[in-house]
Structure 1
Amino acid sequence: MFLAAACSSTNLSDSVESVTLSEHTRGYRKVITVTQKQTQVTINDKVYSRQTQPQQWKQLLESLRPIRLADLPSIKTRTERSAVDAAYISQVTVLAAEKTYESNFFDHTTPPKELADVVKTINATAQGIVPEESTRN
């Protein structure tokens, strides 16, 4: 089990600059980047964005709270289905205090339990930004 983040929630909110979820397979790449001010979804070469609501940013920071950012690269992940293109290969990246923390790759359908809330919150924040994806899961 990972220890709670070394920072208090106030420091965490001051230090986290962005949280990114990337998903890709052959011929498809989707990147969702959430900052305090903006949520941006890039699909292949098309970019969509809108303002991040304060509650969405707060919820994202809350989902990060149980994770010690320095431990992000050591969270055990599975990539069984993405190895055969049955699932997107995904990764969470956090930019905080001018340092980048990256998770290992994982199947988008089965994020590690430590990252499940983060992935869910990022996807919920980006919901409806891309018109043709607004009804997709």
Structure 2
Amino acid sequence: MKILTAFFLLLFLGKGCDGVTAQDMKTVVIEYTASSRGFYQKITVKNQTIMVSKDRNGDDKSILLKINASDWDELVSYFKEVQLDHLVKLKAPTEKRLYDGAAVANLKITFDEKNYETANFDHGFPPKEIKQLVDKVNSLIKK
């Protein structure tokens, strides 16, 4: 009986975001921030929209864009692969940010009224566990 209980707990707690529905995705907020001395960029994704700000103080007029259905579906599929509870434990693959070789980046996800945040990593070089998600978020503003 204990084995069966442990199996079900492992199954349900280890799923990550697999159980995310379209309705759940309407409440998810993904914030990607990258900054250095002369560069700042904050990308916020929520409910099929993306907002881009390039001013640290928020004094600029943010750009608000609609995400098309195919890009949104791709973003949702990458989000489902992310283990939210493990974001804080991810290790940066490079350390260029330590000597001004890259901007400092960070990913923050708000889901079910709970915040999940990564440690700092190099802009353009996210940890492999979130690489597809981060690359997709960044590609949306380049279109």
**TM-score per shorter chain, which class?**
0.7 to 0.9
CA distance, structure 2, for counterparts of residue 75 and residue 4 of structure 1: 17
Could you give the per-residue CA deviations for residues 42-98 of structure 1, whole angstroms, max 9, x where no partner exists? Answer: 012432111122332221121122221111111112452111111011011111111
Aligned residues of 1:79 and 1:105 also touching (Cα < 8 A): no
Query: Aligned match of 1:14 in 24, 37, 58?
Result: 24
**1 or 2, which has the higher strand percentage?**
1
- SS of the residue corresponding to residue 9 of structure 1 reads coil
CA distance, structure 1, for counterparts of residue 89 and residue 63 of structure 2: 31
Structure 2 gaps, min length 5: 1-13
TM-score, normalised with respect to structure 1? 0.80
CA distance, structure 2, for counterparts of residue 50 and residue 86 of structure 1: 30
CA distance, structure 1, for counterparts of residue 17 and residue 138 of structure 2: 26
CA distance, structure 2, for counterparts of residue 84 and residue 6 of structure 1: 35
Query: Aligned match of 2:39 in 28, 41, 46?
Result: 28
Moved more, 28-37 or 77-86: 77-86
Amino acid at match of 1:85: D
Q: 1:4 to 1:77 in 2, by over 3 A?
A: farther
When the two structures are aligned, how many residues end up with a matched partner? Answer: 125
Structure 1 equivalent of residue 77 of structure 2: 62
- SS of the residue corresponding to residue 86 of structure 1 reads coil
Aligned-CA RMSD value? 2.0
Aligned residues of 1:35 and 1:52 also touching (Cα < 8 A): no
Identity, in percent, stands at 25
**1 or 2, which has the higher helix percentage?**
2
TM-score, normalised with respect to structure 2? 0.77
Aligned residues of 2:51 and 2:64 also touching (Cα < 8 A): yes
Aligned residues of 2:17 and 2:79 also touching (Cα < 8 A): no
User: Which one scores higher on RCO, CA 8 angstroms, separation ≥ 6?
Assistant: 1
Larger radius of gyration: 2
- SS of the residue corresponding to residue 135 of structure 2 reads helix
Aligned residues of 1:78 and 1:105 also touching (Cα < 8 A): no
CA distance, structure 1, for counterparts of residue 129 and residue 116 of structure 2: 14
Structure 1 gaps, min length 5: 129-137
Amino acid at match of 2:24: D
